[in-house]
């Protein structure tokens, strides 16, 4: 039996066995609904969270503080201000086009027993600020000069600091030097007991080594945050800028959108419900079908050429990074609520050109007489065995970020971060089986869909990712101390 036929039979066996074990009760697909039912989901708007929380306490929202002009998500400050009449506060040189109050070093804000003091901390961006809060009632009558809580925005994270490459007028080295000054001349001079609350946690694109913890203290960060351990400004600059990953392309558009003030999410249109034949026609004209269902359901059956980005993970961020903000989309989802959530989350990164969704999901695609595709899933032991049998017939593709490789990597793997995959597919051979993995499986499912869309036929997604490979006791290379 020839090599390619043996490989096809092996893949077919893996694929059919996996599909048979995962094809359980098909979820209720989304059908076309009336506009009134659709509009009832508008309360999912992010501003509603703040309005609801304030109403529960009997409070009025009077001040909205932005620590900087955000690059990764559309901020709701403009919409919230319109709904409440609250004033917006920003640091100097923000370039914001909407009404706001500029705050800088030493400016203060008082309301009730709460006292806020602002620090201008350029570095992540030029307008970045941090805010010291002292709540005299909460802290037992503490004086304003004794800070209790510090909101650090993207200046200081738990375990990291903000990336210094988001200015069109300053180099990363210049911003990193400014950030060093902001930290060492202002923030780190506060008491070690000062609690910090940053704007992001693990997984954000605004840093590299953020912890999943939502808060810490300055004292703890002084001994555990790698960036704060740099002995001087020059080494700090090198630490932050050497091997700095390229910022996603959509960041610049996002900043511009936030400077202008995005349209209220509550004004998003009701999505149109498309039949299978209509989706096919739009797809052939360039519209991208985005499947938001769980990875197991996508792998078992999906619309050919669709991109899989599961709603359970960093859905909107990956959609913006991979597809850009100017791509027209059609959504495939589990039900109407999930589709509406998809639309809202896409809008939060500025991706608003959503034409509609597929009526009845993949079931509707089949009833329209159209074929589905599937992507084989492979276990770690099966992949190891296949590599032993056909060492020249498989490429292991690792789509994790470079910083993740220190904890371990499969020997011989090709490493292409997911955010770069679309522009680097020429580095992969279409004649070999490509086994894709990430840490746990989310990103590798996205990558598998991109490869299939790019014309790669022989692909398999490693179930459970590198975590499953390690858990299976299989060998791997490491440069880190476990």
Confidence of residue 78 (pLDDT cuts 50, 70, 90): confident
Q: 3-state class of 172 per DSSP?
A: helix
**Whole-number pLDDT of residue 403:** 79
Judge whether residue 303 has pLDDT over 90.
yes
Other C-beta atoms closer than 10 Å to the C-beta of 304 total 14
The CATH H-level superfamily of 265-367 is Rhodanese-like domain (3.40.250.10)
* CA dist., res. 213 & res. 168, Å (int): 31
For the chain, where do the domains classified as CATH 3.60.15.10 start and end?
46-258
Confidence of residue 18 (pLDDT cuts 50, 70, 90): very low
- Report the range out of 40-44, 141-145, 182-186 with the highest average pLDDT: 182-186
**Whole-number pLDDT of residue 207:** 65
Judge whether residue 184 has pLDDT over 70.
yes
Average pLDDT over residues 354-382: 95
* CA dist., res. 317 & res. 309, Å (int): 10
pLDDT digits (tens, 9 = 90+) for 210-239: 777 889 999 999 999 999 999 999 999 999
* CA dist., res. 119 & res. 60, Å (int): 25
For the chain, where do the domains classified as CATH 3.40.250.10 start and end?
265-367, 375-471
* CA dist., res. 73 & res. 69, Å (int): 10
- Just give the CATH number of 46-258: 3.60.15.10
Other C-beta atoms closer than 10 Å to the C-beta of 259 total 15
- Just give the CATH number of 375-471: 3.40.250.10
**Whole-number pLDDT of residue 147:** 57
**Whole-number pLDDT of residue 213:** 86
**Whole-number pLDDT of residue 387:** 94
Average pLDDT over residues 259-274: 84
**Whole-number pLDDT of residue 438:** 97
pLDDT digits (tens, 9 = 90+) for 98-151: 999 999 999 999 888 888 999 999 999 999 999 999 877 655 554 545 558 999
Judge whether residue 32 has pLDDT over 80.
no
Residue 336 φ then ψ, to 5°:
-65, -40
Average pLDDT over residues 444-471: 97
Spatial CA neighbour of 89 closest among 102, 99, 76: 102
Taking the mean position of all CA atoms in its chain, how far away is CA 226? 23
Judge whether residue 206 has pLDDT over 70.
no
Judge whether residue 366 has pLDDT over 90.
yes
């Amino acid at each position: 039996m020839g090599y390619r036929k043996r490989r096809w039979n092996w893949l077919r066996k893996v694929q059919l066995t996996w599909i048979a074990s995962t094809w359980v009760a098909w979820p209720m697909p989304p059908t076309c609904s009336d506009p009134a039912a659709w509009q009832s989901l508008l309360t999912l708007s992010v501003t509603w969270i703040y309005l609801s929380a304030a109403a529960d306490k009997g409070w009025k929202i009077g001040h909205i503080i932005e620590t900087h002009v955000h690059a990764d998500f559309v901020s709701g400050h403009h919409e919230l201000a319109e709904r409440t009449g609250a004033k917006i506060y920003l640091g100097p040189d923000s370039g914001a086009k909407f009404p706001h109050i500029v705050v800088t070093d030493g400016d203060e804000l008082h309301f009730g027993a709460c006292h806020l003091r602002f620090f201008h901390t350029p570095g992540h961006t030029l307008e970045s600020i941090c805010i010291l809060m002292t709540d005299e009632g909460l802290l037992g009558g503490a004086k304003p000069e004794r800070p209790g809580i510090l909101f650090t925005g993207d200046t200081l994270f738990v375990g990291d600091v903000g990336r210094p490459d988001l200015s069109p007028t300053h180099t990363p080295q210049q911003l990193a030097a400014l950030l060093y000054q902001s930290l060492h001349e202002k923030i780190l001079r506060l008491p070690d007991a000062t609690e910090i609350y940053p704007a992001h946690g693990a997984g954000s694109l605004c840093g590299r080594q953020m912890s999943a913890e939502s808060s810490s203290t300055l004292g703890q960060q002084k001994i555990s945050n790698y960036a704060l351990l740099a002995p001087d400004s020059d080494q700090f600059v090198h630490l932050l800028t050497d091997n700095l990953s390229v910022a996603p392309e959509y960041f610049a558009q996002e900043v511009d959108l936030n400077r202008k003030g995005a349209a209220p999410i509550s004004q998003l249109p009701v999505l149109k419900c498309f039949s299978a034949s209509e989706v096919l026609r739009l797809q052939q004209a360039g519209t991208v079908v985005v499947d938001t269902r769980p990875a197991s359901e996508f792998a078992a059956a999906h619309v050919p050429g669709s991109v899989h980005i599961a709603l359970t993970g960093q859905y909107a961020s990956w959609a913006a990074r991979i597809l850009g903000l100017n791509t027209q989309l059609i959504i495939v989802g589990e039900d109407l609520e999930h589709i509406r959530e998809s639309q809202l989350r896409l809008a939060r990164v500025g991706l608003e050109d959503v034409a509609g969704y597929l009526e009845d999901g993949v079931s509707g695609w089949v009833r329209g007489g159209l074929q589905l595709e599937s992507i084989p899933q492979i276990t770690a032991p099966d992949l190891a065995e296949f590599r032993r049998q056909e060492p020249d017939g498989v490429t292991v593709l690792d789509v994790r970020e470079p910083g993740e490789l220190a904890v371990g990597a499969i020997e011989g793997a090709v490493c292409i971060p997911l955010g770069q995959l679309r522009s680097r597919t020429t580095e992969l051979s279409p004649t070999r089986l490509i086994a894709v993995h990430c840490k746990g499986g989310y990103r590798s499912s996205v990558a598998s869909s991109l490869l299939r869309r790019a014309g790669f036929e022989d692909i398999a997604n490693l179930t459970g990712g590198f975590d499953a490979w390690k858990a299976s006791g299989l060998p791997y290379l490491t440069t880190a101390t476990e």
